[in-house]
Amino acid sequence: MARRDRLMTPTPLSDLKPVRDRLRGIGDVLDPKDAEEPILAPAVRAAVKGWLDEIRARDALAAVGLKPRSSALLSGPPGCGKTTLAHHLAARLGYPLVTVGAEHIVTSSLGGSEGNVAKLFATIESLDQPVILFIDEIDAIGSKRRDSSGDTGGAVTAMNSTLTVLLRRLEAFGGTMIAATNRADTLDPALWRRFGMQIVVDLPDEDARWAILKRYGLPYIFADEALDALAGLTENAAPSLLRQLMEGVKRRLVLGAMQGSLPASLVEAVAAVVAETQPHPDYDQPPLWARQASSSQIISNISAGQAWPPARQEA
């Protein structure tokens, strides 16, 4: 098999057991075959494609003394697809994703966090098969160094030295690494500069919201006009919330049909989901939730042209 094809061939689940055993307590191993492709802004898609091309062209780049960039920092609000994108990227390369969260690294024992960082990198480097390392919530160990004078409890000193170990290990790391944060502004500048790319995975624009609503509405077919109206009313909504909205509607379609209590229209189904979900108060409220959907007219557009109950796509 050509090298390129091998890189594109997902690792079978059975091959992951030894990796999972080695990484027990150090990180979770996600199977490439479970990955989903996130719906992304064109600029992010282009950056991701460029990086994948570069990694696959490793040999051609080496011939002119270049290496593919080995790391990327994903930042952006919660629920916009950072973890989904990291998993998808790893799957496109055919590698498992080793996800490491703050809970795997940060401990209150003296020197414990530094030790965990060192152990993480040593273990990844000693694996027989390539993996992509994903450090989630990297702000938990990578926030700006602080002055440790007067640090009676030793917490600041411990955080500073954990970051120093991380910087050193990253510098020496030969593999591919992705990190994510939704607090980019708190990251240490030295850590920031270690990444070959800093990609912002932001809230979706109207076109992206439309595509996300459609995807999570499947297998039900929602009319374009209904999706237009919903996409217009969900500005500031993260994809995770859009998914929750459409899954709530689908749940009502299935259970309503079983129990003879089908919502009367798409508007009614959406209103029921909106009543039991709430975006985090720190973020701007989408009009659908803020009920400043300046008119019932817009809301009623949700049902415009929508067959009810909606047809289901053929399997």
Ligand X SMILES: Nc1ncnc2c1ncn2[C@@H]1O[C@H](COP(=O)(O)OP(=O)(O)OP(=O)(O)O)[C@@H](O)[C@H]1O
The long-range contacts involving 121-130, CB below 8 angstroms and separated by at least 24 positions, are 121/169, 121/172, 121/173, 123/22, 123/23, 123/26, 124/98, 124/173, 124/175, 125/173, 125/174, 125/175, 126/22, 127/19, 127/22, 128/18, 129/11, 129/15, 129/19, 129/95, 129/96, 130/95, 130/175, 130/176
Based on the shown chain and the rule CB under 6 A, indicate whether residue 234 belongs to the binding site for ligand X.
Answer: no
Please select the residue that binds ligand X; options are 157, 182, 198, 285, rule is CB under 6 A: 182
Q: Which of 15, 34, 36, 207 binds ligand X (CB under 6 A)?
A: 36
The helix (run of H) or strand (run of E) holding residue 178 is strand 176-181
Of 29, 30, 39, 124, the one binding ligand X by CB under 6 A: 39
In the bound complex, which residue of the shown chain has the CB atom lying closest to Mg ion?
83
Q: Which does 160 bind (CB under 5 to 8 A by kind): ligand X, Mg ion, none?
A: none
The answer to the question of residue 40 lying near ligand X (CB under 6 A) is yes
Judge contact between 179 and 195, C-beta under 8 A: yes
Residue 206 beta carbon to ligand X: minimum distance, rounded to whole angstroms:
14
Is 159 near ligand X (CB under 6 A)?
no
Does 42 participate in binding ligand X (rule CB under 6 A)?
no
Assigned token pair, 139: 């702000």
Specify whether the CB–CB gap between 284 and 236 falls below 8 A.
Answer: yes
Minimum CB distance to ligand X, residue 178 (Å) = 11
Nearer to Mg ion, 88 or 252 (CB): 88
One-letter identity of residue 11: T
Is 248 a binder of ligand X (CB under 6 A)?
no
Per-residue binding letters, 78-97, with Mg ion (x by CB under 5 A):
----xx--------------
54-113: contacts with ligand X (CB under 6 A): 78-84
Question: Which of ligand X, Mg ion, none does 36 bind, CB closer than 5 to 8 A by kind?
Answer: ligand X
Residue 138 · residue 26 · CB < 8 Å:
no
Footprint of Mg ion on this chain (CB under 5 A)? 82-83
